[in-house]
Amino acid sequence: MPLDYPIHRRTLPNGLRVLVSPDHTVPNVTLNLWVGVGSRHEETGRTGFAHLFEHLMFQGSRDVRSGEHFEALMAEGGRLNATTWFDRTNYFETVPSGALELALWLEADRHGRLLDAVTQENLDNQRDVVKEEKRQRYDNQPYGTALVDVYAAVFPEGHPYHHPTIGSMEDLDAASLQDVHAFFRRYYAPDNTVLTVCGDVEPEEAFILVERHFGPLDAQRRPARADLAQLEPLTAPVRVERRRSVPNDRLHVAFRLPVDGTDELVAATVALDCLGGLSTSRLVRRLVRREQVAVGVHATAWGFVDGVSLGFVVLDIAPDADPETAELALVEELDRLATDGPTAAELEASLAQNERAWLSALASQEERADLISRSTLLHDDPGIVNTHLDRVRAVTPERVAEATRRWLAPDSRAVVAYLTDDVADEEAVA
């Protein structure tokens, strides 16, 4: 079924890219903003800053007091939040249609006039909140820091993706009000932002409202640096071992992948599906169903734009099994997929599951708005929401084999092993 979600696009004189996708099935509107700043833009000594800054966006701006953004929208039936990731910072709310202009006014105030309200007290409070977020989601979880180790193992020191979005406690402590001001002036500007309105509104009305509130914001007119060149796969395996109080051994086997928006990344993603991303993947059949050396296998690819993406397979090792057996099996399956390519059934399964997942995402106004913002900020092409599945359908067995050979070679793997510490006297394999 060809997708045809309507998307209308305009760019304001100050550079703000505005997308409107009308949908009157529910009396709601989603407002979704992607700002072109994420942890990849952070400087040495200031990791975690983009995310800490995102928290400050809820602490008041010129005409909005601290906490009022949440309160005002929730009292009108709004559901809202914000997230920070490697490539971007995302602010979003879904409100009854009649509250769209209020949402735009609130967003414009903080995206244009935040610095009038930022205080040391708010910075200190949100620094504490973010440190608790880090403890809750990373430090106090059994395998919570494994992905932090993965980023550091796969990407070289100094590379934009070498450090996690949450940052480090030391760097969070070092963040100052001066940093907040400099960061806002450098990155928060209409010409570094995409705004999507999706839902129960006519395009013309939405454009008028956006223009009214965001039109007065000043462009920054400071071109972003060009994205880095594609990072080649690792040339030799990298290995990180951690002995921890974890319930069972777990291996994260990670690879550098081609950048987001390329056919090659789509092919590599299908390859990872065939290996471990589906319930019928090779490694699931072999390690979980037949040999039973793993209790779970997962594989995923995260598309990034700054010269490289990340792919990884997670092997959850059965309590009495040897992680090395599982890793050797993975190496064998990588070789086999590189040589023989996927079967017709595997390709069909990957496509069918991608299709359901994509349609499910688009079924929600919120996620549709998010995907439109993403496609526009990262690739300047909102139409990707309608064309992405065609790209997946075009993947051939040959392209999957080729992507496996080039990007998923066993020698290009970085393994982060979290091993139970009840065998602490056993010699760690370096």
Partner 1 sequence: MTRPEVAPPRPWTFPAPRETVLRNGIRVLLHDLPGQYVHSLRVVIPSSLATEPPGLDGVSAMTARLLDEGTSEHTAEELAELMERNGMVLGAAVSDGGYLVDVDVPASRLSTAAGLLTAALSDPVFPETEVRRIVRSRLAEIEQERASAGVRAAREMARTLWDPADRAARPGAGSADSVRALTRDDVVAHHARTIGPSGATVVLAGDLSDLDPERILDETLGGWTSSTHEPAPAAVAPVPAADRSRVVVVDRPGSVQTEIVVACPGPDRSTPHGWAPHPVLSFVVGGSPGARLDAVLREDKGYTYGIRCAFRPRVAGGSFVTSGSVRTEVTGEAVQLVLGILDDVRDGLTDAETRAGVDYVSKTAPGRYATADTVADESAALALEGLPPDFTTCNLRAVAELTPESLAEAYRRTVTGEWSVVLVGDAESVVPALDGVVPGTVTTVDV
276 to 315, contacts with partner 1 by CB under 8 A? Answer: 278-280, 285, 288-289, 292, 295-296
Helix or strand run (H / E) with residue 106: helix 100-113
Rounded distance between C-alpha atoms, residue 277 and residue 317, angstroms:
16
Q: How near is the Cβ of 148 to partner 1 at its closest, in Å?
A: 15
Q: How near is the Cβ of 127 to partner 1 at its closest, in Å?
A: 8
Q: Does 140 bind partner 1 (CB under 8 A)?
A: yes
Q: Does 208 bind partner 1 (CB under 8 A)?
A: no
211 to 270, contacts with partner 1 by CB under 8 A? Answer: 212-213, 216, 245-248
Q: Does 316 bind partner 1 (CB under 8 A)?
A: yes
- Interaction mask 177-206, partner 1, x per CB under 8 A: ------------------------------
**CA distances in angstroms from 4 to 61, 117, 176, 351, 377, listed in the order given:** 38, 43, 47, 19, 20
Q: How near is the Cβ of 130 to partner 1 at its closest, in Å?
A: 8
Q: How near is the Cβ of 342 to partner 1 at its closest, in Å?
A: 13
396's tokens? 């051939």
Q: How near is the Cβ of 303 to partner 1 at its closest, in Å?
A: 22
Q: Does 116 bind partner 1 (CB under 8 A)?
A: no
Query: Quick one: which of 49, 58, 151, 407 contacts partner 1 (CB under 8 A)?
Result: 58
Cβ-based burial of 85 (10 A; exposed 0-12, middle 13-18, buried ≥19): middle
| DSSP letter (8 states) at residue 12 | -
Q: Does 147 bind partner 1 (CB under 8 A)?
A: no
Query: Quick one: which of 224, 345, 428, 429 contacts partner 1 (CB under 8 A)?
Result: 345
Rounded distance between C-alpha atoms, residue 220 and residue 227, angstroms:
19
Q: Does 119 bind partner 1 (CB under 8 A)?
A: no
Classify the phi-psi angles of 307: left when phi > 0, otherwise alpha if psi is within -120 to 50, otherwise beta.
Answer: left
Rounded distance between C-alpha atoms, residue 309 and residue 399, angstroms:
18
Query: Quick one: which of 43, 116, 124, 218 contacts partner 1 (CB under 8 A)?
Result: 124
Query: Quick one: which of 11, 120, 136, 387 contacts partner 1 (CB under 8 A)?
Result: 136
* Pairing status of strand 28-35 against strand 89-96: antiparallel
Q: Does 319 bind partner 1 (CB under 8 A)?
A: yes
Query: Quick one: which of 126, 373, 404, 412 contacts partner 1 (CB under 8 A)?
Result: 126
Q: How near is the Cβ of 174 to partner 1 at its closest, in Å?
A: 17
Rounded distance between C-alpha atoms, residue 216 and residue 203, angstroms:
20
Q: How many residues does the chain have?
A: 430
The amino acid occupying position 355 is E
Which residue's CB is nearer to partner 1, number 34 or number 58?
58
Rounded distance between C-alpha atoms, residue 315 and residue 323, angstroms:
8
Query: Of 77, 73, 75, nearest to 27 (Cα)?
Result: 77
Q: Determine the interface stretch with partner 1 among 140-148, 171-179, 235-243, 262-270 (rule: CB under 8 A).
A: 140-148
13's tokens? 């004189």
358-389 CB burial, b ≥16 within 10 A, e <16: beeebeebbbbbbbbbbbbbbeeebebbbebb
Q: How near is the Cβ of 29 to partner 1 at its closest, in Å?
A: 10
Give the count of residues interacting with partner 1 (CB under 8 A).
76
Query: Quick one: which of 6, 43, 79, 322 contacts partner 1 (CB under 8 A)?
Result: 79
The amino acid occupying position 29 is V
96 to 115, contacts with partner 1 by CB under 8 A? Answer: 96-99, 101-102, 104-105, 108
Rounded (10°) angle between helices 384-393 and 344-363? 170
Q: Does 387 bind partner 1 (CB under 8 A)?
A: no
